[in-house]
Structure 1
Amino acid sequence: MAGNFEVFVDPESMYRFRLLAADGTVMAVSGAFADKPAVAAGIAAVRECAGTGLVTDLSRRPTAPQVPALPVEAPRAAVDTARALRGHVFRVALGPGAPARKPRWIVAAAR
């Protein structure tokens, strides 16, 4: 079933028409017209042009500028903690002139 045109008077006392789909959904609402003959001419123009009208897509959003990707770092080699700490003794830093203490942490040599 085809859609219907409804002519109505808006709150400003101007004539308008709306195009309704077969299920009653409002598909389009016209601009304001001064009198009924002008509304009839507007409906005739829509009937004539609606089937042959071109579609212009204005919905495209502007694309954001492309940010260059950051360079990917090479994977770091895994650190062998036991090997790096072999033979090291950790001491508490007490500052200059402080009495020496026994080391708090001692890493045993790997066997």
Structure 2
Amino acid sequence: MAGKFEAFVDQDSFFRFRLLAPDGSVMAVSGPFEDKAALAAGITAVRECAGTGLVTDLCPAGAVARPAPAGAPVFAPAAAPADCEDRRTPAGHTFVLAKGPRRQGTKPRWTTAVAR
């Protein structure tokens, strides 16, 4: 089952939508829209871009240090072997936006006419 969009009006009287996962948890909430037409256009844009969207990694290279909850036992992480390094992205690599929509390589089978 796929996720679904849910349109609503926020406390400031703007239209918004949220993307719900199949289990009902909220995955994303949109920005404010002035009217329902703009809201529908925003949902259409998300539907078109979601499958082909590129990922830009803005996270730090290492693990993020989080404070331990009060009363939790403190464990020291095991040291990584010397030959391990962060190989997620090459140095100097940047993500490039697509220049246009992707084209399908071949025609779908169901659109070709069959001669008898």
What does residue 37 of structure 2 align with?
A: 37
What does residue 59 of structure 1 align with?
A: 59
TM-score, normalisation: structure 1 = 0.54
The count of residues paired between Structure 1 and Structure 2 equals: 62
**Superposed displacement of residue 25, structure 1:** 0.7
Question: Whose Rg is larger?
Answer: 1
**Superposed displacement of residue 61, structure 1:** 5.2
1:85-100 to 2 correspondences below 5 Å: none
Relative to its length, the structure with more strand (as a share) is 1
Q: Distance in 2 between matches of 1:55 and 1:27?
A: 16
What does residue 24 of structure 2 align with?
A: 24
| CA root-mean-square deviation | 1.2
**Superposed displacement of residue 19, structure 1:** 0.1
Q: Distance in 2 between matches of 1:33 and 1:49?
A: 18
- Identity among equivalent positions (%) equals 73
* 1:30-84 alpha-carbon deviations (Å, 9 max, x no partner): 000000010000000000000000011111158xxxxxxxxxxxxxxxxxxxxxx
What does residue 3 of structure 2 align with?
A: 3
Q: Distance in 2 between matches of 1:61 and 1:15?
A: 37
SS in 2 for 1:2: coil
Q: Distance in 2 between matches of 1:36 and 1:61?
A: 41
SS in 1 for 2:38: helix
What does residue 106 of structure 1 align with?
A: none
TM-score, normalisation: structure 2 = 0.52
Q: Distance in 2 between matches of 1:45 and 1:19?
A: 13
Q: Distance in 2 between matches of 1:18 and 1:60?
A: 28
Q: Distance in 2 between matches of 1:40 and 1:19?
A: 13
Give the gaps of 5 or more residues in structure 1: 63-111
Give the aligned residue type for 1:56: T
Q: Distance in 2 between matches of 1:10 and 1:51?
A: 27
What does residue 78 of structure 2 align with?
A: none
